[in-house]
């Protein structure tokens, strides 16, 4: 298993994976030394950089997250939420075929190991509130604003 730490606008992201795909992407405020990028992770680093530069809206990476079958179903459903769009936990539960599973869906969403690439930040409360994000609500807000199709334009 290889890993690399890269600096992003939201903190230091640690990317972990191997030839079978990405296993995790996590972020923290803790300053860490930047690493030499292992060849197997070069594409992931490049695509994340493009995302933050506003060039990339979708990722084309092999993913290999570890979790239960249910968690993997939820994470697959997250991949269907388009860039710049949000869905509620209730809507995500409906898409998975069980409206009563809303708490289990929320819990699986919170266990998503692939920050940004599997866009759990695009899931919000039924009333439109930003709720629950393992990386912190300030990061969720930043990501949703970054993906917003109606960014505030400067007048001058």
**Stretch (H or E) spanning 77:** helix 69-78
Cα 142–Cα 112–Cα 109 angle in degrees, nearest 5: 80
Name all contacts of 50-54 with Cβ < 8 Å and 24+ positions apart: 51/116, 52/8, 52/9, 52/146, 54/146
The residue annotated as part of the active site, out of 78, 87, 114, 120, is 120
Active site (annotated) includes residue 137: no
* Tokens describing residue 147: 């993906």
Residues with a known catalytic role = 120
């Amino acid at each position: 298993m290889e890993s690399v730490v890269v600096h992003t606008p939201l903190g230091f992201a640690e990317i972990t994976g191997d030839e079978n795909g990405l296993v995790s992407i996590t972020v923290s405020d803790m300053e860490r030394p930047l690493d030499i990028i292992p060849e197997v992770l070069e594409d992931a680093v490049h695509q994340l950089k493009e995302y933050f530069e506003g060039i990339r809206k979708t990722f084309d990476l092999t993913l290999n997250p570890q979790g239960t079958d249910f968690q993997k179903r939820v994470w697959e459903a997250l991949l269907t939420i388009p860039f710049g769009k949000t869905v509620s936990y209730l809507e995500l539960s409906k898409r998975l075929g069980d409206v009563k599973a809303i708490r289990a869906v929320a819990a699986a969403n919170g266990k998503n190991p692939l920050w940004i690439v599997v866009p759990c930040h695009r899931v919000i409360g039924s009333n439109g509130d930003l709720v629950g994000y393992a990386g912190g609500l300030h990061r969720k807000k930043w990501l949703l604003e970054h993906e917003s199709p109606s960014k505030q334009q400067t007048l001058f």
